[in-house]
Structures are given as structure tokens and as C-alpha cells.
Amino acid sequence: MPEREVTTRRLIFFGLSLVALAGLLFLPRVRSEYQLLTYTRFLILALMAQGWNLIGGFTGFAAFGNVGFFGIGAYTTGLLMISRWQIPFFPALACGAVLAGMVAVLIGLPVLRLKGHYFAIATLGVAEAFREIADTWDSVTQGSTGIDLPVRSEGDFFYYSALVLVILAIGATALLARSKIGYAWVAVREDQEAARMLGINTTAVKVIAFALSAVLAAMAGGLTAYQNIHVTPSDFFKLPYTLEMIIATVIGGVGTIFGPVIGAGVYTLLSNYVWGRFIELHPTVLGALIVFFVIFLPRGLMPLVGEMIRIARGQKQFRWRSLLSNVRAHRVT
């Protein structure tokens, strides 16, 4: 493709991003406090999904325990804020993120040796174990009663903090994806043995991805803790958080830079709509959504958007059959 076209496309993309950013920046001016809460939830989900994407998307390890790091972030942030030293929010959040990253390294070293299903279930179990520890370690976490954080009620604060963190996370993902380590992640995902043969230190590469995903999850956890004020093991170590970040990433596009954010947006929109209409069947719709995406759009919306653009410009003809390409590639009859 000619150099000029690439530049134009970059400019268009850049312009669109600026418009989106400006819209997001001015959102609190035009939205009510309650609606702002929904948007903040979207941003926090985007942050977690961006983290899951590093280990689950780029590196291809289906981590099912990221909620454990979410909880560690929430507890560390909360406990430091209410401790004797009354550490302010942002340093406390940073401590939570660093601690979660270190725990992820320790857990990751043995667990990342496992492959496939074994890894998935092991991480699921580790997160469950974290919950039990938080539940029983009364002297620190106050067990199932939980801890209370200082109250801060300005919606703007949480919204902008989340926005800044998401932008930083996207920037970091974009940089990493184009760096040596990003390529190493993809190499590990495609063929771990071959990657090792090429001289990639697969253990280090995997552990870094796992730790970074833990850091982002912990930040999301700390932010949610401060916003919710009250932190309990059952509210912060619960599986739905893990599921939401995976679903958001799958909807947007696994292993893409903007996929998780787009997926988080779509998921929050759908989720809100479903909550509003049929509250009791919310999980059913969620389950059906997962089934639909896994079968028809396993690579998410990002590639679909690209396809649409090509069709709109006449470079490709629209075919219903192309929607079935995944099924055709993987089915048995």
C-alpha cells in the first residue's frame, strides 16, 4: 500500500482518537452524577481488560484469576489509606499495584509452567485461595466484615483518574506491542517451543506479561475500593470481575491494542441495557452473548470493523458467508 495512504489513515485515526478523547474529557460537564458512575465503571473495566489482554491476548495464557490481583489492589490501597500513616490515595494505589505485581511474579513462576486448561484452572484456584485468605486473616483484613475507606464523593475525581489510567495503559500497551517484548509475547502465544529455540527467555517474558496484567488489575481494584468505600472479600474477590474482563477483551478483540477498551464500552452498554430491561435474566443474556461471540466473532469487533471499512470502500464484496468463516474453520461434522 502506498506511503501516502498510510499517512492519511494515520491522520484520520489520530483525529478520531482526539475527538473521542475530547468527548470523554468533557463528559462530566454534560452528564449526571449517576450516568458518570456508569462511565467510570466502563473505564475501570477497560483498565482491567487492558491488563487481561496482556497475558490472555498477547501471550495467549487464559488467566482466570485476575480478580485476585484486583482484590489485592483494593485491600492494599484501602489498608494503607486507613493505616496509622494515612497514606494518600495515589501513593497507596501505587503500592497496591507494585505488591500485586510482585505476588504475580511469585505465583507466575510455578503456575506459568502449566499449559492450557491447567493454567486456567490453577489461576482460578489461586484467586479463590486469595479470597479465603482475605476471609480468614482477621487481624489484617478484618475478615468478612471488611474495611471502610475514607469517603470521597466527587464523581469527577474517579472518572478522571480512571480516564488517565486507561490512557496510560493504552499507551503502554501500544509501546510494548511494538517492542521486542511484545513480539516475544506473540511468539510465545503462537509456539512456545519455537520461541524458546529462537533464544527468547519464555519464562521471563510470560512472568512480565502476568505481572503487568496484575498491576493493571490492582489499579482497577484500588480505584473501585476508593469509590465503593467498603471492601469485603466476597465483593472484591468475585469471579464475575474476571469474567467481565475476559468478555470485554473477547468482544473487542483479543491481542489488539484498542480492542479491550472498545469491548469494555460495548459490554457496559449491553450490560446496562439488559439490567434495565430484564434484571433477573441478566446472566442468561451474558451467557448467550459469550456463546454468540465465541462462535461467530472469536476475534472480536476490531477485525470486523476493519472488514466493514474494506467493504465500504469497495475493496471487498460483502458476503454473509464471511460471518461463518470461524465456524467453517473449526467445526466438525
Partner 1 sequence: MSAAEFGQIAINAILLSGILALVALGFSLVWGIMNIVNLAHGAFVVLGAYTTYFLHELAGIDPFLSIPISMLVLFILGFGIQRTLINQIVRAPLLATFLLTFGLEILIVNLVNYFFKADLRSVTTSYTGTGIGVGSFRIPYIRLAALGLALLLVLLTAWFLRSTRYGRAIRATGMDVDAARLTGVKVGTIYALTYAIGASLAGAAGALLSMIVPFDPNVGGGYTERAFVICVLGGLGDLRNVVLGALVYAFVDVFVGSRLPALSQAFTFGALVLLLVLRPQGLAGKKSYA
Please report, as ranges, the residues that interact with partner 1 according to CB under 8 A: 56, 60, 62, 110-111, 113-114, 116-118, 120-122, 124-126, 128-129, 131-133, 135-136, 243, 246, 250, 254, 280-284, 286-291, 294-295, 298, 326-327, 329-333
User: Taking Cα atoms as reference points, which of 62, 43, 79, 78 lies closest to residue 115?
Assistant: 62
Residue position matching grid coordinates 510494548: 176
Q: What is the rounded distance in angstroms from the CA atom of residue 150 to the CA atom of residue 262? A: 32
3-state class (DSSP) for residue 7: helix
User: For residues 91 and 287, which CB has a smaller minimum distance to partner 1 in the complex?
Assistant: 287
We find the least distance from the C-beta atom of residue 296 to partner 1, in angstroms, to be 9
Q: What is the rounded distance in angstroms from the CA atom of residue 60 to the CA atom of residue 101? A: 19
User: For residues 59 and 161, which CB has a smaller minimum distance to partner 1 in the complex?
Assistant: 59
User: For residues 92 and 266, which CB has a smaller minimum distance to partner 1 in the complex?
Assistant: 266
**Chain-centre distance for alpha carbon 258:** 11
Q: What is the rounded distance in angstroms from the CA atom of residue 205 to the CA atom of residue 178? A: 15
We find the least distance from the C-beta atom of residue 190 to partner 1, in angstroms, to be 11
User: For residues 127 and 149, which CB has a smaller minimum distance to partner 1 in the complex?
Assistant: 127
We find the least distance from the C-beta atom of residue 12 to partner 1, in angstroms, to be 32
H or E segment at 21?
helix 3-30
Eight-state DSSP code of residue 54: I
The pair phi, psi for residue 231, each rounded to 5°, is -120, 120
User: For residues 98 and 133, which CB has a smaller minimum distance to partner 1 in the complex?
Assistant: 133
Please answer whether residues 45 and 268 qualify as being in contact, where contact means their C-beta atoms are separated by less than 8 angstroms: yes
Residue position matching grid coordinates 458512575: 37
Cell numbers at 242, concatenated: 474476571
Percent of residues in the chain assigned helix, strand, coil, to nearest 5: 80, 0, 20
We find the least distance from the C-beta atom of residue 120 to partner 1, in angstroms, to be 6
Q: Which residues contact 215 (CB under 8 A, 6 or more apart)?
A: 51, 69, 97, 98, 100, 101, 104
We find the least distance from the C-beta atom of residue 245 to partner 1, in angstroms, to be 12
Q: What is the rounded distance in angstroms from the CA atom of residue 81 to the CA atom of residue 59? A: 34
User: For residues 34 and 320, which CB has a smaller minimum distance to partner 1 in the complex?
Assistant: 320
H or E segment at 254?
none
We find the least distance from the C-beta atom of residue 63 to partner 1, in angstroms, to be 10
We find the least distance from the C-beta atom of residue 110 to partner 1, in angstroms, to be 5
3-state class (DSSP) for residue 241: helix
User: For residues 27 and 125, which CB has a smaller minimum distance to partner 1 in the complex?
Assistant: 125
User: For residues 110 and 276, which CB has a smaller minimum distance to partner 1 in the complex?
Assistant: 110
The pair phi, psi for residue 148, each rounded to 5°, is -115, 130
User: For residues 93 and 254, which CB has a smaller minimum distance to partner 1 in the complex?
Assistant: 254
We find the least distance from the C-beta atom of residue 289 to partner 1, in angstroms, to be 7
We find the least distance from the C-beta atom of residue 267 to partner 1, in angstroms, to be 13
